[in-house]
Amino acid sequence: MSNKSYPSKLKQMSNLFSAATSVAKDVVTGNEVFVPDNIKQERMNICLSCEWYDQEQIRCKACGCFLEQKTSYTSQSCPHNKWGFYKNE
């Protein structure tokens, strides 16, 4: 497990609000909300080997997000740009 600490509670709340807003926007506009299972698994595999990964909580210490949820959404991205960008074609 990484020795890095989580962002402040205020920053984590801001990140959560931004994530919820972007997911809600996808829902309202009719955009794809969830990535396919194989993309979610690719994202999780990247996270599992990342220095920011908290194995005990399955969270990212860079943003504070819970990764089992974050990796599911098309609008979400890695704070260190390790996932690349998902484009549904």
CA angle in degrees (0–180, nearest 5) for 28-33-38 = 175
Residue 64 pLDDT: 97
- CA 56 to the chain's CA centroid: 17
Residue 88 pLDDT: 60
> Which residue has tokens 């996932």?
83
- C-alpha–C-alpha distance, residues 48 and 85, integer Å: 18
Buried b (16+ CB within 10 A) or exposed e, 4-22: eebbeeeeeeebeeebeee
Q: Tens of pLDDT along the chain (89 residues)? A: 457 899 999 999 999 999 999 999 999 999 999 999 999 999 999 999 999 999 999 999 999 999 999 999 999 999 999 998 776 64
Secondary element (H or E) of residue 15: helix 9-29
